Chains A and B, each alone.
Chain A
């Protein structure tokens, strides 16, 4: 018998053939997320394929992968950083990752994020820790009008509900990535 984890937002998102509008929120069902703590720069990780390294603060990163399983991500990060005195902790079950994209994405996020997300100042690939819906989140720009938001699992329900509410004027839709 295989263990099938139940996503915390399972109850929030039904799968009754919901529409997908231009502004859409995707909840990634099983992303691999690990936190990395290191005293210095982590160039050893820059070449890792399928891993996106998101700064949290000095010496702290959140590593995100949508293809590797959680335990494997943490293991390969730890292997890549061996001998550098770094710490890697698998956080896949501790965070919920949401992908929000669309022409009005900045107008939606402006209601719950105070950081300037304009394309000229927040470049594609850039990420930072910031307040989102009053919760400590990590926000990354992953496309022209696409962002990924990682929030602690226990706050995900609240953040999800608030973003959906903020998106109502733009008919924001939401679904799991495998729906």
Chain B
């Protein structure tokens, strides 16, 4: 895990991406607390992961849009009945891709849409992975957000250091098993101290 006294590059990256388990997090954080060069390395790694994520998301979005433009361009060159048929096929394809995406991952995730705490709490059964769609309206603009899940006692349960907004929502998947109880999902824009909070009840 450590090489020549400092966390290896891959370990720092796992830390930046929230993929290290607790004992390793502890070792890395204690080291970073006293090692200035690793503070700089972590800064660079986080910047890299964040920027790469945004650039890849933009590239993917641009690719999808360009594919659509090509297809739509093609439709208008077709006779009308063929155009309608093609639209139906594409619509079915979208549904199929959406379903496929959900089945290729482990287990069938429970999807839940959360809006910022306003007295109401989303309630969902505690089983399997959770697909959270966090309403990102009025969030501080940032290229990525840190999403943290805390339990009713405000203890860290899970986190995703760099999530992005897509179509007005921050989408995150929590793969770990969560026991029943009250949870809060907190979203932090980089550099902004006040988080946005969403309430979630697992029953």
User: Are A and B interaction partners?
Assistant: no
Which residues of A approach B to under 8 Å, CB–CB? none
Which residues of B approach A to under 8 Å, CB–CB? none
